Amino acid sequence: MRNFIFQRGTRIVFGGGCVREYLASFAREYGPNVLLASGEGSVRHNGVYDEVCQTLRRAGKQVVEFPGIRPGPDYDTVQRGARLAREHQVDLVLGIGGGSVVDCCKATAMAAVYQGDLWADFWARQGVVDFQPLPVGLIPTTVGTGGLNGISVVNRALGIRTGRDYPKCDPRFILLDPAYTRSLSREQVIAGGFDALSRAMELYFAPPEGETVSDDLLGALMRGLIRDLRASSRDLQNSDARGDLMWAGTLAGDRLFRLGKRCGYPCRRAALQLMERTGHSRTDCLAVLQLAACRRSCEEQPARTARFARRVWDIPEEGRTEKALAHAGAEALEAFQLELGLPTRPEALGLEHADLLPQSVQSRNLWVYTA
C-alpha cells in the first residue's frame, strides 16, 4: 500500500428532517451572506429550494441566488458564481442539487478568493492551494453524489474537462435528507447508484496488487450499493433503500477509499468521451465501459477478479478455476446491468467492439492517479 495522509474536516448529518433541524445552526457559524447555488432540475419546483431559502432567511441570512448551473459544470459558470460572491461579500457557499452543483460550489469557493488565473494554476495542472477558499456547505438531492471530495470542471472554450482533488475545498458540512430524493425517477436513481458503483469498482481494481484494507472496504461498499440500488430501482417508494443508497453513494466519493490506491478513473473519463461521440447517456456509456474493464480484469487480474466474484456477488468456488470464477463475477455484473436496463455491449452504443475503448483506456498505463 502507498503512503498517505488522511484528515477529515466535514460534518455529515444524515436523516429525515436534518435540513430543517441543522441548517440554521450550521449557517450561523458564518457571516450573514450566503450564496445559494442550484441547478435547473426539480429542486426549483418540488418545494426543496423554497424550504432551504426560508430556513436561511429565518436564521437572519441574506440569500444571494446562484441558479442555472448546468451539467458539467463549465468554467464560465464558476466565474459567474465567483463574481456574485465577491459582489455580495459572500461568507458561505451553499449548494443544493446534484454533482454539477457540488463541483461548481467548490470551484466557485476557490475562484471567489484567488487573484490569479484559476484555470492555468489549478485546473490545467495540479496546483497547491496555499489560500483559504470560501467555506462550502452542501445539500445533495441525488443518490450518487455526496460531494465529499474532488472537483470536476469543464472549459468549453478549450474543450477540456479536468478533475482535481483539493482538500481545502472539502465542504464544512453536508446535510443528507433522503426525503430530498423522493422526486427522482427510476432512471435518475439508476444513474446515480450505478455511478457510485462504477467509482467503487474502478478503485477496487486499481493498483497495488494483492489484498489490502482498501479492497476489503470497497468490497463491502459494492455489496451495499448493489443491494440498495436493486431495491430502490424496483420500488421508488422504498425510502429505507433509497436512504441507504444515498449514504453509500456519498461514501463512494470519499477519499478514504482511495488511500493507498493509484487510480485515474479511466472508465469515467472515457464515458465522457463516448457520450460526446455517440450521443448516448453517460450512464449507458459508463455501463458498457465498466463491464468491458471487468472482463479485461479477468485476464489481467484473475485473482482480484475472483475475489470480486466471491465477496461482492457471493459466487461459490464449486471447483471452478480462479479464472473461471473471475469470469463468473463479470457475468454477474452483466446480469445486474441487464436487470437495471443498462446496456452491456458496445453495439448498443452504435460501436464496433474494437472501437469501444480509447487507446488510453485499453492500456494498463491508465491506472495512474492524476487528480
Summarize pLDDT for 14-62 with one digit per residue, the tens.
999 999 999 999 999 999 999 999 998 778 778 899 999 999 999 999 9
pTM here is 0.90
Residue recorded with cell 489490502: 212
Nearest to 103 by CA among 80, 125, 77: 77
**Please, what are the domains in the chain?**
11-180 (3.40.50.1970), 185-366 (1.20.1090.10)
Task: Give the per-residue pLDDT at 356.
Answer: 56
Q: What is the pLDDT at residue 360?
A: 40
pLDDT at residue 7, rounded to an integer: 65
The pLDDT value recorded for residue 266 is 87
Alpha helices of 127-238 — where are they, by DSSP H?
186-204, 213-234
**What percent of the chain shows pLDDT beyond 90?**
69
Give φ, ψ of 151 to 5 degrees: -145, 130
Question: Which pLDDT band holds residue 371 (cuts at 50, 70, 90)?
Answer: very low
Q: Which of 154-168, 252-266, 310-324 has the highest mean pLDDT?
A: 310-324
| Cis, bond preceding 266 (omega within 30 deg of 0) | no
Q: What angle do CA 268, 346, 209 make, to 5 degrees?
A: 45
Task: Identify the band that residue 197 occupies on the pLDDT scale cut at 50, 70 and 90.
Answer: very high
Q: What percent of the chain has pLDDT over 70?
A: 93
How confident is the model over 90-133, as pLDDT tens digits?
999 999 999 899 999 999 999 999 999 999 999 999 999 999 99
